[in-house]
Structure 1
Amino acid sequence: MVIVKKIIAENNKKRKLLTKENQAYFDKLLVYVRAHVLLSERQSEEVLMEMLDHLLIAEEEGKTAVDVFGPNPKAYADDIVDALPKEKKGSLMTFGVEILCDLMGWFIIIGAVGRYFTKSDQIYLYSAIINVVALVAIGGGLLYLILQQLKKGAFEEKMSTSAIIKAGLVGTGTFGLFMGILYFTDKLGPLVNITWFAQLGAGSALLLISYLMKRDRTKRY
C-alpha cells in the first residue's frame, strides 16, 4: 500500500517527464482536482497518477494531452470531480481541527512575542476570545475564496487584471477587517494573568498538534 504523501510526490515527479505542452495541460487538471478539498485525497491522487501514466504512454506514441483527454480540459476535469467520492466526514473534521490549531497556534505565538516586548502579563479575556473567533472565521472565509479562485483560474492562461484587482481588494479588506476587530474589541472582559512564556508554550503546543495531525493524515492508506 502506498501512502498519500508518496502518491503526491510521485505525481509531482512524473509531471516533469511530460512535454512542456502536455505538462501545461495536465497542470490545469491537477490544480482543479486538488482545489476540491472535500474529495477523497487518496483517490484524487490515484486518479491523477493513472492519468499521468496514460499520458506518458500516449506521448511515446506521439500523442498530445488534447488527443488523450480532449480539447476541453474543464469539461474533462468536471467529469473527474463528479466521479470521485467525498472525503469521509471524520477526515474532514480532523482536517478542520488541524487548520484551526495551526491558525490559533501562530496567532497565540505572535501575541506572545508582542507581549514579551511590552512586558505585560495580563490579557483581557473577552477580547482574546473574540480575536480568536474572528481569526478562525476570517481565515476560513479567506481559505474558501482562495480555493474558489484556484478552481476558476485553473483553466485561464493568465490571471486577468480584474482578478488581480479583486484579489488585492479582498486581501486588503480582510486585513482591515481583522485589524478593525482587534481595535474595537480591545480591553473587553476581566483581566487574566498569563505570562508571555506560558502563551508561547500554548501556541507551540497547538502547532505541534497541527503538525502531528498533518503527518498522520498524509500517512493514511
Structure 2
Amino acid sequence: MVTTKELIQENNEKREQLTEENERYYSNMLVYIRSKFLLSERATEELLMEMLEHLLEGQQDGKSAEEIYGRDPRAYADEVIAQMPKEKKKNQLLFGIQVVVGVLGWMVLTRGAILGIMSFFQPVDERLFLVSTTALLLTVLLIVITGLVSLMKVVSKTAFEKKKSTWKVTLVGGVFGVLVFGLFMGIAFFLKDRGPAIEFPWLASLLAGFVLLLVSQWIARKNESTY
C-alpha cells in the first residue's frame, strides 16, 4: 500500500508536468486544501492526486485548469472540502502526543547542548527545577499549537491571492517570536528555581533528548501506519 509520504512525493514529481499557468492554479488549491489540518491527511493526499491526474489528462487535450475546475478555485475547493472526512480521533491523539514528545525532546536536547558547551569554560548548575521546567514546557507547547493554527489560517486566507502577501506570514512569525521571548523572560524571572530540584547532567540531557526525538519519529510512523 502506498504511504501518505509516497503520495506527496509522487504529487511533487507529477506537478512538474503541468504548464506554468496550470501549476499555479493547482498549487494554490493544494495549499488551500492542505491548510485544513482537521481533514484526514490520507484522504486529502488521495484527493489531490486524483485532481492532479485529472488536470494532466485535460492538459493533454489542450484544456486549462480554469476550464476544468472553474474560474473560482476557492469555491470549488470549499465544495470538495465539505465532502471530505475528518481525521480520526486516534490519529489526532497520536499527532498531539508526537508534538508534545518532539517539543520536549528538542528542549531537553538544547539544554544538554548549552550546558555541555558552557561546562568547558565554567562550572554549571545541572539541577532541574520541576515547577519551572513544567511551566516552560506548557508555555512552549501552547505557543507551538497557537502558532501552527494561526499560520494555517494565514496560509488558507492568502492561498488564492494573485500577489502573495508574504508580509502576513512574516508578521505572524514576528509576533509569536516576540511572544515566545517575552514568556521565556517572564518564566525565567518569576519562576526561576521553583519546585523540587533533581540532578540532570548535561550528557544525560543530550541522550534523553535524542531518545525523545526518536520516539517522536516512531509515533509519526505509527500514526501513518494506521491509515
TM over 0.5: yes
Conservation of the 8 A alpha-carbon contact between 1:98 and 1:213? yes
Q: How far apart in 1 are the matches of 2:170 and 2:205?
A: 38
Aligned to 1:148: 153
Aligned to 1:106: 106
Conservation of the 8 A alpha-carbon contact between 1:4 and 1:219? no
Q: Find 2:193's aligned residue among 183, 187, 195.
A: 187
Matched, 1:201 2:207: yes
Q: How far apart in 1 are the matches of 2:5 and 2:165?
A: 33
Conservation of the 8 A alpha-carbon contact between 1:138 and 1:178? no
Q: How far apart in 1 are the matches of 2:48 and 2:96?
A: 24
Counterpart residue type for residue 37 of structure 2: V
Matched, 1:129 2:134: yes
Task: Give the root-mean-square deviation of aligned CA atoms.
Answer: 1.8
Instruction: Indicate the SS of the match to 1:16.
Output: helix
* Deviates further, 52-61 or 195-204: 195-204
1:216–1:177 distance in 2 versus 1, CA, 3 Å = same
Conservation of the 8 A alpha-carbon contact between 2:106 and 2:213? yes
Instruction: Indicate the SS of the match to 2:198.
Output: strand
5+ residue gaps, structure 2: none
Q: How far apart in 1 are the matches of 2:169 and 2:56?
A: 34
Q: How far apart in 1 are the matches of 2:204 and 2:69?
A: 56
Q: How far apart in 2 are the matches of 1:110 and 1:104?
A: 10
5+ residue gaps, structure 1: none
Q: How far apart in 2 are the matches of 1:177 and 1:89?
A: 34
Deviation at 1:162, TM superposition (A): 6.0
Q: How far apart in 2 are the matches of 1:91 and 1:165?
A: 30
Q: Aligned ranges for residues 35-46 of structure 1 at < 5 Å? A: 35-46=35-46
Aligned to 1:20: 20
Conservation of the 8 A alpha-carbon contact between 1:131 and 1:181? no
Aligned to 1:54: 54
Q: How far apart in 1 are the matches of 2:151 and 2:35?
A: 9
Deviation at 1:220, TM superposition (A): 4.4
TM-score normalized by structure 1? 0.93
Instruction: Note the alpha carbon deviations across 1:168-196, whole angstroms, 9 max, x for none.
Output: 54233223233223322222122211111
Superposition misfits of 4+ residues, deviation over 6 angstroms: none
1:165–1:32 distance in 2 versus 1, CA, 3 Å = closer
Aligned to 1:166: 171
Aligned to 1:70: 70
TM-score normalized by structure 2? 0.90
Conservation of the 8 A alpha-carbon contact between 2:151 and 2:169? no
Percent identity, aligned pairs only?
35
